[in-house]
Amino acid sequence: MQHEIFMQRALELARMGWGTTNPNPMVGAVIVKGGRIIGEGYHKKAGEPHAEINALREAGEGARGSTVYVTLEPCSHFGRTPPCADALVKAGVKEVVIAMEDPNPRVAGRGINALRQAGIKVITGIMEQEARRLNEVFIKYITSDMPFVIWKCAMTLDGKIATANGDSKWITNELSRQYVHWWRYRVSAVLTGIGTVLADDPMLTVRLPHINIEKQPVRIIADSLAKTPLDSNVLNIEQAPTIMATSWSADPSKIETFKSKGADVIITDGKDKVDLVQLMRELHKREIDSVLIEGGPTLAASAIEEGLVDKAMVFIAPKLIGGKGLSALSGNGIARMADAWQLSGVSVKRFEDDVLIEGYLKA
């Protein structure tokens, strides 16, 4: 039970890196000696010292003979920073308790082996499930050539995301919308389609009260024919960086204009359509580890049909529209209920009268 208590604290510390460590994982570390915490640390930002290093600095010489709790296996290689496993050995710690093995192929057990070879006792798997959920984005990103993709939508009780004339402001309440902004802050990028840009002219930025936003997510616009108006909010690069995803069918002069305004342009091979699979692979190459889809029914359906969506976040507001309002998904759909896309690991949250259903799409 003592291990779980201190690991819980390490997980709490790790969450303090929410939104600032991408594409690195969130990691927390706690150093314990004589039953009390003598050092704490978490990974604050990619390129800065890791959690173990920050905790060792706080513990100082007291770290010798201590037990270290860390949410992720200490690294054993030189990346942006020196190996943490070496630092723990040098500090003379007695025991290291680890929540989960690092899925990064460059580490994957090597840090644990280095500690054991130095005579340090290592215990693994303490609160592993919680640690894996915390770093679900990192796990997908580091073990594949794709970012972690979340589809978010807001609908009424009768499954509509907008009225027949396209009005959608606002389906959900302020608390629900604020939660979405927290997730924008968490991810590396927000993706929407040209339909949403033309209808709403969104900014797609993080706007949270009383929070100093150090970074904005990259805005990605799926615009196969380069129809985005040049005065759109998403082409105001001073607000946030923008990637225009288009196809070879787009007007070359319009593409050059996007570039002149400071946007990054990815031209995919799809004819009259953005190839979403190719786009995701290109985003991975740019170290974009996570994408929040906030588009309309066509983009959402395409992403789900291509098997790109890992997690769904569906907000349901206690409102009814009726008539011919827009539904959350279009596309080809499914012919048999037995073939419906199924969510697993479902959880439910409430934001006053709104309900959020979260779950993972089964492969």
304/11 Cα distance (integer angstroms):
31
DSSP 220: E
Residue 75 assigned to a binding site: yes
> Pairing between strand 242-247 and 264-268?
parallel
Long-range pairs for 271-275 at CB < 8 Å and ≥24 separation? 271/247, 272/224, 272/225, 272/247, 273/224, 273/247, 274/222, 274/223, 274/224, 274/245, 274/246, 274/247, 275/247
Residue 29 assigned to a binding site: no
Q: Is 4 a catalytic residue?
A: no
Residue 84 assigned to a binding site: yes
Distance of CA 29 to the CA centre of its chain: 21
Sequential DSSP letters for 129-179: HHHHHHTHHHHHHHHSSS-EEEEEEEEETTSEEE-TT---TTSS-HHHHHH
Residue 300 assigned to a binding site: yes
Residue 204 assigned to a binding site: yes
Residue 207 assigned to a binding site: yes
Residue 143 assigned to a binding site: no
Residue 196 assigned to a binding site: yes
Residue 79 assigned to a binding site: no
Residue 251 assigned to a binding site: no
Residue 153 assigned to a binding site: no
Residue 246, both tokens: 């288009």
Non-local (6+) Cβ contacts of 123 within 8 A are: 3, 95, 96, 97, 98
270/169 Cα distance (integer angstroms):
32
Catalytic residue among 40, 52, 101, 282: 52
Residue 50 assigned to a binding site: yes
> Pairing between strand 311-317 and 354-361?
antiparallel
Residue 341 assigned to a binding site: no
Residue 249 assigned to a binding site: no
192/148 Cα distance (integer angstroms):
16
Per this entry, what is the length of the chain?
363
Contact 121, 96 (CB under 8 A): yes
Query: How many other CB atoms sit within 10 Å of the CB of residue 340?
Result: 9
Residue 114 assigned to a binding site: no
Residue 170 assigned to a binding site: yes
Residue 331 assigned to a binding site: no
Which among 64, 132, 59 has a CA at the least distance from the CA of 98? 132
- Known binding residues for substrate are 168, 184, 204, 207, 294
Give the active site residues: 52
Binding-site residues: 50, 75, 84, 154, 168, 170, 184, 196, 200, 204, 207, 224, 294, 296-302
What residues are designated binding site for Zn(2+)? 50, 75, 84
Binding-site members for NADP(+) are 154, 170, 196, 200, 224, 296-302
